[in-house]
Amino acid sequence: MSNIKTVEERKKKYFPYNTFERASQDVVLVYPKNKTAIGLNWLDTVDALQRIVDFLADITGLKLEGGLNLEDEGERFDKIVVVGYRRNEDLVSNECNPSWVSDNTTKLPWDCLQIENKTITSCTHELVHPFLKIFFHKSKSLRRREENEINWGDGFCDFLRIFIIDFLDMDLKEQINGKEYNWKEDSFEGYMRSTEKTGESWKTHHKPALQLLSQFRKYRWADGYREKSEIEVLKVFLQALSSKEDLEKEITEDYHNIL
């Protein structure tokens, strides 16, 4: 049975305030009527979110169109992704920071409304999640290793985020920890390497993302792939990844050499 609700049902459940919305082919952006948005261009934002979805569909070979049933999980992923903003008073006890939730709906922090480009940059990570869910469950071998999705999910998202930012090729400027980044010019890989190598963000996001990047570069420069474009090799790499039964065993080899 489907766990996907209509857009209207999801808006009422996850965003209990009067809303406007802007829609593209696969994305509905929901935002509050009574909140002034600073530095947020709705049309450019929705266009960027749709481009992210298109890029992910291309490199993973997975389409949201028509929805997808995950037979063993009793879940269905709908074509439409809903992106909105959550107020602090709407949080449940175990929620904090940007969070992907069920029903193909992502909730972003309220301050994303007031920080230039924050909606787009947050979604370079968050919009990977529905594709990740489908990707890991398409593989029969990975279906037997559910911990791959749990242990590698955010790292997988930050790994693909490197390519998404490059693909968008937008002038995305953002203040992070007192420093201004221009993601068109600054390297997200460099940002991950420069963060303190302790704490939950390093353990769950940056370390596994860099491990995946190290393994990807082995594919990138292997015989038979050197003449191919980076995106062509990325598609091959992702398909190879889907056949791995234990990512911890396969991906961590020689990782110490990349730090």
* Residue 259: inside a domain: no
Give the pLDDT of residue 245: 62
Q: Using pLDDT thresholds of 50, 70 and 90, give the confidence band for residue 258.
A: very low
Q: pLDDT at position 136, please?
A: 66
Is residue 258, in this structure, part of any structural domain at all?
no
pTM, full prediction: 0.84
Has residue 1 been placed in a domain?
no
Per the structure, the count of domains in the chain is 1
- pLDDT tens per residue across span 43-70: 889 999 999 999 998 998 876 655 554 4
What CATH number is associated with residue 79?
A: 1.10.390
pLDDT bin (cut points 50, 70, 90) of residue 1 is very low
* Residues paired with 174 in a beta bridge: 181
Greatest Cα pair distance, the chain, in angstroms, is: 57
The answer to whether position 113 is within a domain reads yes
81, part of any domain: yes
What DSSP string runs through 60-128? HT---TT-EEETTTTEEE-S-EEEEEE-GGG--TT--SSEEETTTEEEEEGGGGTSTTHHHHHHHHHTH
- What residues make up the domain containing 194? 7-253
pLDDT 10s digits, 174-221: 888 888 899 988 999 999 999 888 888 898 899 999 999 998 998 888
Residues 117-163: tens digit of each pLDDT: 899 999 999 999 877 776 766 554 444 445 556 667 889 899 999 99
